[in-house]
């Protein structure tokens, strides 16, 4: 399961805030650390001066104090609370401070107060049109508004002043990455890393490019570097897991995914990946548990249901598997392969109506696969709806090539007769998958109308092919093992 995600531009915005807070604290801290006057031997002082010295001096609320308290409000209560604190507590003498106004604009962006942020950026740009941080923040605002042209213009403005700007190179690299232009995207990430070798967004982006370019060794080194820079970066572990999995190193893949999962137990992808690797290791309970957790995290996303359904199906827990497949098609009606699985399992459970409705959905999405109309016709017969079986199959037959063996097979189902010429035609087929499918339907025809020996003969032919590249193989296998959903 390859992921095409990258660090969001909001991460860059939040980085602006952190950088600004730290820079303000440091700059003010250093400027206020002058040496105290050297102590002088205490001389006899007048009584009045001694009394004044004893009075407590009220401490001035400094720029450092304000920024420190603002940072605390932001971290503990979020952007809105931080902005409220800013407006109430900023000393009047600091209201025109350039860095603090920029800091306020950045907090506005993080709180999605874009109009206010834009107005502040415009005011700051008038004072210093070349300020790189302000240009970058303006680009963030443009992106959040969906104004890609403005955002790109701002990024190019940054690059014109600084070709190795990490912010601009990461963002433009991400644009190309999302368009799957991995080679050019990588070039931007490399430029960002030339300036800032520990930039996590650039490392992640470069690693992803190497991964999708199938340069696994190079990708592995980048993700190891990312983890070295930040041992808590779950993406690094997840991609090391994906690389190992692609090379059939399931234990290594699982170990890396588990490291990510330990760091972020409520992360959807961590649970999905670890579950998949555990499944390949045969640790089925762990896989089910991981996918169940993923479902609890994102109950309205279909993928975890699909994975869990497949494993439950393999374990022959058919009722549970059907429930999961039904959730898949509820959440993603276009995923017609789930309908096929529902149809197969419903046949096993003798739920002819559910099977027919599922195969009907398959047929709506794939008119060329004759398996679906054959199964739909069969289900109608099993529901004792012979007229519906004939009406449906007749409509399909009108649109088929009369010389094809698929037409002949469906005609046999429609007419309930005429199967004998098919035996030789099927035997002469060169495509083994198609031949196996046709043998199955010939067996199903005999099964449906009580010719048990004929059914067994052709089911056995299907099984002897030992080539389960078509879903009918499984149905034949069930029938031979006396597990089918037939009379």
DSSP for 72-88 reads HHHHHH-HHHHHHHHHH
pLDDT at 450 (0 to 100): 79
**C-beta separation of 85 from 68 below 8 A:** no
The alpha carbon of 34 is separated from its chain's Cα centroid by a whole number of angstroms, namely: 53
Residue 486 included in any domain: no
Residue 118 included in any domain: yes
Residue 91 included in any domain: yes
List the CATH number of the domain containing 99. 1.25.40
Give the domain range for residue 88.
7-29+63-161
pLDDT at 57 (0 to 100): 62
CA distance 487 to 480: 14
Q: What is the DSSP string of 312-373?
A: HHHTT-HHHHHHHHHHHHHH-TT-HHHHHHHHHHHHHTT-HHHHHHHHHHHHHH-TT-THHH
pLDDT digits (tens, 9 = 90+) for 123-160: 999 999 989 889 989 998 998 998 988 988 888 889 99
Residue 359 included in any domain: no
Report the domain count for the chain.
Answer: 1
Classify burial at 282, counting beta carbons within 10 Å of its beta carbon; exposed 0-12, middle 13-18, buried 19 or more. exposed
Residue 106 included in any domain: yes
Write down the pTM of the prediction: 0.78
pLDDT digits (tens, 9 = 90+) for 390-442: 999 999 999 999 999 999 999 999 999 999 999 999 999 999 999 999 999 99
CA distance 13 to 7: 11
pLDDT at 26 (0 to 100): 44
pLDDT at 47 (0 to 100): 53
Residue 380 included in any domain: no
pLDDT at 2 (0 to 100): 40
pLDDT at 361 (0 to 100): 96
Q: Which residues fall within 8 angstroms of residue 427, CB to CB, at 6 or more apart?
A: 435
Q: Which residues fall within 8 angstroms of residue 370, CB to CB, at 6 or more apart?
A: 400, 406, 409, 410
pLDDT at 58 (0 to 100): 64
Chain position carrying tokens 């030339």? 194
pLDDT per 10-residue tile (average), the chain, 487 residues = 43 52 45 39 50 62 90 92 93 92 93 93 92 89 90 89 92 94 98 97 98 98 98 98 98 98 98 99 98 98 98 96 98 94 96 98 95 98 97 97 96 94 94 94 92 91 87 93 53
Residue 155 included in any domain: yes
pLDDT at 15 (0 to 100): 54
pLDDT at 34 (0 to 100): 37
pLDDT at 60 (0 to 100): 82
Residue 241 included in any domain: no
């Amino acid at each position: 399961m390859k992921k095409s995600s990258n660090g969001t531009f909001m991460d860059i915005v939040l980085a602006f805030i952190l950088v600004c807070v730290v820079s303000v604290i440091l700059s003010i801290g250093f400027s206020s650390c002058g040496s105290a006057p050297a102590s002088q031997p205490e001389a006899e002082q007048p009584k009045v001066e001694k009394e004044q010295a004893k009075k407590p001096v009220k401490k001035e609320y400094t720029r450092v104090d304000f920024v420190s308290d603002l940072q605390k409000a932001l971290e503990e209560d979020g952007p809105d609370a931080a902005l409220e604190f800013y407006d109430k507590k900023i000393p009047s003498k600091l209201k025109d401070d350039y860095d603090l106004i920029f800091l306020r604009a950045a907090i506005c962006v993080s709180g999605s107060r874009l109009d206010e942020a834009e107005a502040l950026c415009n005011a700051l740009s008038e004072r210093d049109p070349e300020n790189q941080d302000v240009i970058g923040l303006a680009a963030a605002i443009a992106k959040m508004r969906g104004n890609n042209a403005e955002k790109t213009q701002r990024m190019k403005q940054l690059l014109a002043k600084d070709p190795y700007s990490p912010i601009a190179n990461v963002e433009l690299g991400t644009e190309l990455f999302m368009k799957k232009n991995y080679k050019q995207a990588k070039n931007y990430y490399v430029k960002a890393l030339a300036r800032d070798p520990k930039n996590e967004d650039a490392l992640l982006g470069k690693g992803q490019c190497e991964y999708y370019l199938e340069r696994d060794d190079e990708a592995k080194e980048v993700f190891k570097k990312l983890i070295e820079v930040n041992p808590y970066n779950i993406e690094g572990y997840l991609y090391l897991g994906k690389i190992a999995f692609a090379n059939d190193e399931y234990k290594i893949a699982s170990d890396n995914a588990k490291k990510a999962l330990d760091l972020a137990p409520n992360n959807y992808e961590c649970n999905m990946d670890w579950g998949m690797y555990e499944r390949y290791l045969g640790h089925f309970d762990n896989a089910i548990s991981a996918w169940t957790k993923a479902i609890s995290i994102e109950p309205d996303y279909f993928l975890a249901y699909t994975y869990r359904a497949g494993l439950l199906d393999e374990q022959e827990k058919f009722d549970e598997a059907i429930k999961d497949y039904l959730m898949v098609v509820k959440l993603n009606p276009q995923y017609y392969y789930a309908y096929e699985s529902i149809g197969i399992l419903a046949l096993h459970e003798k739920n002819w109506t559910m099977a027919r409705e599922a195969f009907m959905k398959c047929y709506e999405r794939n008119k060329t696969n004759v398996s679906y109309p054959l199964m739909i016709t069969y289900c109608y017969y099993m529901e004792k709806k012979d007229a519906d079986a004939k009406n449906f199959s007749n409509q399909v037959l009108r649109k088929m090539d009369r010389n094809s063996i698929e037409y002949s097979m469906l005609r046999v189902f429609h007419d309930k007769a005429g199967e004998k010429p098919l035996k030789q035609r099927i035997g002469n087929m060169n495509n083994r998958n198609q031949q196996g499918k046709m043998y199955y339907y010939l067996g199903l025809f005999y099964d449906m109308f009580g010719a048990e020996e004929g059914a067994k003969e052709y089911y056995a032919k299907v099984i002897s092919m030992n080539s389960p590249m078509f879903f009918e193989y499984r149905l034949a296998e069930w029938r031979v093992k006396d597990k089918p959903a037939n009379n």
